Amino acid sequence: MKIILNGVEEIIPDGLSITDLIEWVKEGDPHLMVEVNNTYIYPKEYDRVWVRENDRIEMINPNLGG
């Protein structure tokens, strides 16, 4: 199915949780932040939130320099 990942259209397998999606894109940053449709998702919820068609998902690496 189609989602918008970091502003770019991606075709991903159906039935993925956020945890699965992180694995699928091979994102390894332990401090990764995730937003779904403009709402921040806490890591505790990654297993419970399912990716749906046309979701706009942002995978974010924190910026903590100054």
Residue 49, number of CB atoms within 10 A of its CB: 19
- Does 66 participate in binding another protein (rule CB under 8 A)? yes
- To another protein, the closest distance from the beta carbon of 20 in angstroms equals 21
What Rg do the C-alpha atoms of the chain give, in angstroms?
A: 11
How far apart, in whole angstroms, are the C-alpha atoms of residue 50 and residue 66?
35
Which residues in 35-54 contact another protein (CB under 8 A)?
Answer: 35, 38-40, 42-44
- Does 20 participate in binding another protein (rule CB under 8 A)? no
- 6's tokens: 């970091």
Q: Could you list the residues that contact another protein (CB under 8 A)?
A: 6-7, 31, 33, 35, 38-40, 42-44, 58, 60-66
